[in-house]
Amino acid sequence: MYIRSMTLVFGLLLATFGVAKEIKIEMLNYGPEGGMVFQPSFVRAELGDIVTFVPTHAGHYAQSYVVPEGQSAWKSTMNQPFSITLSHEGVHLYYCPPHLMMGMVGMIQVGKPANLEVINAKVGRLKSKVALKPERVDALMEQIQE
């Protein structure tokens, strides 16, 4: 009886809060969008989801540029898998430091874009550092949904 009750309570909790999913983002020398990319470059996620950056090719890591208020800034280690738990609603804008000038940028939207003003204020500065494929930054911005 106790086990059945606990199973019911656990099931109700899962139904109420949902189940966090793991989202993998590969760091690639070459992918569908060309050279030096995160695949996918734009992710729509929910609170509690876990994003894992996978260094499919060597020489990459990911670093946050803008994160939602309350979420800690983050930086992975070169050639190592790295995971973050999405704990706050908003947009993460990130890049691969060694390949930023080549347009290796990405974005994660968690729920509503609560920090869109901050993103809009800072995206120009990041884009100015992208020598090749600056249109990738614009393509990310176009995918944000309010």
Task: Name the binding residues for Cu cation.
Answer: 60, 96, 99, 104
What's the token pair of residue 20? 């966090």
- Residue partners of 34: CB distance under 8 A and separation at least 6: 133
- The alpha carbon torsion through 133, 139, 55, 81 (nearest 10 deg) reads 140
Report the binding-site residues.
60, 96, 99, 104
97 neighbors 65 (Cβ within 8 angstroms): no
What DSSP state is assigned to residue 130? Answer: -
How many C-beta neighbours within 10 Å does residue 33 have?
Answer: 16
- Residue partners of 121: CB distance under 8 A and separation at least 6: none
